[in-house]
C-alpha cells in the first residue's frame, strides 16, 4: 500500500488501518457495481468467469452434484444468487 501524506501526523498503524479500510470499501463498491453487469442466469462459460474457476473444476462440481444448477435440455443454467450462497459455504 502507498503511504498518504497528511497534514495531521498519525501513527503508522493508524495510517495503515485507514488505508486498508478505504481499499476494502472501494473493493466492495466495485464488486457490487460489477454484479449489476452480470446476468441473473449464467451459462457455463459465464459461471466459470464469475466464480474464477476453470471449466474442468465446474464439470467436476457438476458431476459430483455439488453446485446448484438447472438444466434446460442440454443447456446448463446457473442462478447468480444461488452461486453466491454456494460459494459462501466453500
**DSSP per residue over 14-51, as a string?**
HHHHHHHHHHHHHHHHHHHHHHHTS-SEE-HHHHHHHH
**Which strand (E) or helix (H) includes residue 76?**
strand 75-79
Q: What residues form DSSP beta bridges with 75?
A: 72
The pLDDT value given to residue 20: 86
Is the whole model's pTM more than 0.75, yes or no? no
The pLDDT value given to residue 90: 75
Range of the domain at 83: 41-88
Residue of 57, 62, 56, 60 whose CA lies nearest to 77: 62
Low-confidence ranges of the chain (pLDDT < 70): 1-6, 29-36
The pLDDT value given to residue 57: 97
Name the grid cell of 18: 485507514
Residue 68 lies in a domain: yes
Residue 3 lies in a domain: no
Residue 63 lies in a domain: yes
Residue 76: other Cβ atoms inside 10 A: 17
Residue 14 lies in a domain: no
- Contact between 81 and 40 under an 8 Å Cβ cutoff? The reply is yes
The pLDDT value given to residue 33: 55
| Number of domains comprising the chain | 1
Amino acid at each position: 500500500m502507498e503511504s498518504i501524506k497528511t497534514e495531521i501526523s498519525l501513527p503508522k498503524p493508524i495510517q495503515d488501518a485507514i488505508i486498508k479500510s478505504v481499499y476494502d470499501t472501494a473493493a466492495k463498491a466495485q464488486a457490487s457495481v460489477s454484479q449489476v453487469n452480470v446476468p441473473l442466469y449464467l451459462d457455463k462459460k459465464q459461471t466459470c468467469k464469475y466464480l474464477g474457476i476453470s471449466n474442468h473444476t465446474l464439470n467436476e462440481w457438476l458431476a459430483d452434484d455439488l453446485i446448484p444448477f438447472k438444466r434446460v435440455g442440454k443447456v446448463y443454467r446457473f442462478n447468480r444468487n444461488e452461486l453466491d450462497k454456494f460459494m459462501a459455504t466453500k
